[in-house]
Amino acid sequence: MYLLVKQQQVARQNLDRKIFLEGLAGTGKTTAGIERVKQLLQAGVPPSAILVLVPQQATGLPWQDALRRSRAPGSAEVRVTTLGTLARELLELFWPLIAADTGCAQPLAPPRFPGLELSQYLMRRFVGGEIERRDYFRGVTISRNRLYTQIVDNLNKSALVGFPPEEIGSRLKSAWRGSSEQAFIYDDAQACASLFRAACLRHNLIDFSLLIDILRKNLWPLENARGYLTRRYRHLLVDNLEEDTPTLHDLLRDWLPQCHSALLIHDNEAGLRRFLGADPAQAHSLRALCDLGVTLDRRRAMSVDVAALHHALAKTQGREAGPMPKGGNGRAAIRWPGRARWHPQMIDWTVEHVARLVHEEDVAAREIVVVAPFMPDALRFALQTRLDERGVPHRSHRPSRALRDEPEVRALLTFARLAQPAAGLAPDRFDVASALLSAIEDLDPIRARLLADALYRDGGLLPFEHIRDTRLQQRITFQLGEKYDRLCSWLARVPAEQPLDLFFSAFFCEVMSQPGFGLHRRESAGATVANLVDSARNFRRLLTELDPEASVTADYLRMVEEGVLANQYLRDWELDRSEGVLLAPAHTFLMSNRPVDYQFWLNVGNSGWGRRVYQPLTHPWVLSRHWEPGRKWLDADEEAAGAESLANVALGLLRRCRKRVYLGISEYGERGMEERGPLLLALHNMQHHLSSGAADV
């Protein structure tokens, strides 16, 4: 691989030094880090002595892919992981030594590790009743599961930032300057967080926040536990340091002096995960602990025209823009629509240009991404149906969705209810029709409803032959009736009380994925079902340990149908690299950390581009180390946070674009309201910074 001089300083020289590598996204920092690992291996360093730390598993995929393809000895054995994974490994290894000091009520019993889905269920189980009895969160209109996740998020912030969980409410209230009603909501959030933590300690449930607390207070001070990491991993590489948390930064201050070599990689002007506790300022302070600082400033992803566009937008946003790229024409790198008055016109314009790139200009579909500040079901469906009509392959990724939001999940849940009537959760006729529509290929909504009306009785499905009306049979067709009978006969053979994860897996493999059925050759649906199987399995294992008398099937079905937010599954991020145009929220694409040739930014006028997501129970800026206790959060702070977020997202997108950006703009948004959001205003203000030249529209 061809490396620039500064990249060679990192990758092929100074292999026994600690280096702080920084620069904007797209300047080749991760590439240099990967090459450094290869050089260490070539120099005889055992792969077991090398550790690559990333803020989330998805960020480590480029490392894993590159090392897997490498010819360096043992490159596939190099560990790429996260702080949370290391903390869990240490806890499981050293639990007997620290259990009595953690506050857990059962120090002789093993710990249990609930993920996000199970934390929401446990929150409902342990805290939901108290919320009802005391009428907590009166006036808060978000869903119960969103409420639970914000309580969990507060606990996570306390652990990752390093303040006691008992201070959550007081910190939030000290910054609030509005009505007393919101202060009471913060008190309620504090009470629920304390109740949940106490319940976790009673049952040895180590959620993520408690795991990090134990790491900080019990494991890291323990010489044996700390030495297990520092003596084992002598060569340390940390990517996207600015997206990680103060807890990791604190550990690195102790760890770096023990390393034989280290590479800390920092994206300047980033911090996209600030809402999850990222601390770019503290991350950059670690440069003082390194022997050598290297800054990469040559952009290797953006074309010269995109670089000129980036320069103009950076100046508009008050960011350091540097010199204007020579020969760059920013106008040539951007496409505006004609007069798109209504939202559907913008979608049609987007799909038309995507199809033109794929079919007429031979652009690989995976080199195109369509992003928006949010990707609601209606927008995703509109894009998917139009892309299907044009024969353009596509895929989507929305990590913050609820499990029930996927149609294949809703279908499987309905069939599980039909197969296990003992759970006492018979579906309604509309759900049965919707499930049949998803399950049987070529079945349209009208005939699906006819089947459900004619054959769904008393919580079960009757065979197709029970339709006595010949005209109705012919209207549905015997071909579809035969597929329906195959599905019904399979459901009739399901053993009573079969675990849901086994049911989902078998039903998908033996029915839904077969030729003639709805999920045949649909890779994305297969990944979704795999996530559902993992979710049901983890739920069954934890709940049977926690309460052997619990009705696992009924509790799980209720949990999912109430809208539990899904865990982040690595296979979803792996699927993002498959063939097809990616449809995703802008933040999701940015965290995948890969460049593409063409980007489409939709709903450019939407205020969501530069607005902090409303979270009535938490506040990422206030719950940080940099917020002065007692200082009020003012309108100026909100405006500054929005401007920072807008610049980080918009400029971050450009740094991951090689050739061209298409701006999806409509005068009226999805709800028929006129939109003049901050991104649209910034783009209009940017125009006088652009170099001369005409752009196609």
- Please state the domain extents for the chain: 5-81+234-296, 111-210, 330-400+573-689, 403-562
What digits encode the pLDDT tens for the residues 514-570?
999 988 877 777 888 888 999 999 999 999 988 888 888 889 988 888 887 766 665
Q: Among 43-57, 122-136, 584-598, whose mean pLDDT is lowest?
A: 584-598
Helix (H, G, I), strand (E, B) or coil at 29: helix
pLDDT given for residue 305 in this prediction: 92
DSSP codes, 605-673: T-GGGGSPPP-TT--TTTTSTTSPTT----HHHHHHHHHHHHHHHHHHHHHTEEEEEEE---SB-TTS-
Q: What is the mean pLDDT of the chain?
A: 89
**If residue 21 lies in a helix (H) or strand (E), which one and from where to where?**
strand 18-23
State the average pLDDT over residues 135-152.
90
Flag the least confident range among 27-36, 539-548, 558-567, 650-659.
558-567
Q: Does domain 330-400+573-689 have CATH number 3.90.850.10?
A: no
Nearest to 164 by CA among 186, 193, 187, 185: 193
pLDDT of residue 424: 76
User: Tell me: the pLDDT tens digits for 148-204?
Assistant: 999 999 999 999 999 999 999 999 999 999 888 999 999 999 999 999 999 999 999
- Cβ(153)–Cβ(618) below 8 Å: yes
Q: Are 406 and 412 in contact (CB under 8 A)?
A: no
Which class for 468: exposed (0-12), middle (13-18), buried (19 or more C-beta within 10 A)?
exposed
Sheet strands (E) in 509-609: 581-585, 596-601
- Would you state the pLDDT for residue 693? 41
Q: What is the pLDDT of residue 692?
A: 44
The pTM assigned to this predicted structure is 0.89
Judge whether 585 and 375 are in contact, CB under 8 Å: yes
Cβ contact 117:539 at 8 Å: yes
Question: Are 5-81+234-296 and 330-400+573-689 in the same CATH fold?
Answer: yes
Inter-CA distances, 572 with 244, 312, 403, 451, 500, Å: 21, 35, 13, 34, 21
Q: What is the pLDDT of residues 211-220, one digit of tens each?
A: 999 999 999 9
CATH 3.40.630.30 fits 5-81+234-296, yes or no: no
Q: What confidence tier does 400 reach under pLDDT thresholds 50, 70, 90?
A: low
Among 664, 690, 692, which Cα is nearest to 598's? Answer: 664
User: What is the pLDDT at residue 662?
Assistant: 95
Return the half-sphere exposure (C-beta side, CA atoms, 13 A cut-off) of residue 265.
27
pLDDT-based confidence at 94, cuts 50/70/90? Answer: very high
Q: What is the pLDDT of residues 434-451, one digit of tens each?
A: 999 999 999 999 999 999
pLDDT digits (tens, 9 = 90+) for 270-318: 878 887 888 898 999 999 999 999 999 888 788 999 999 998 998 888 8
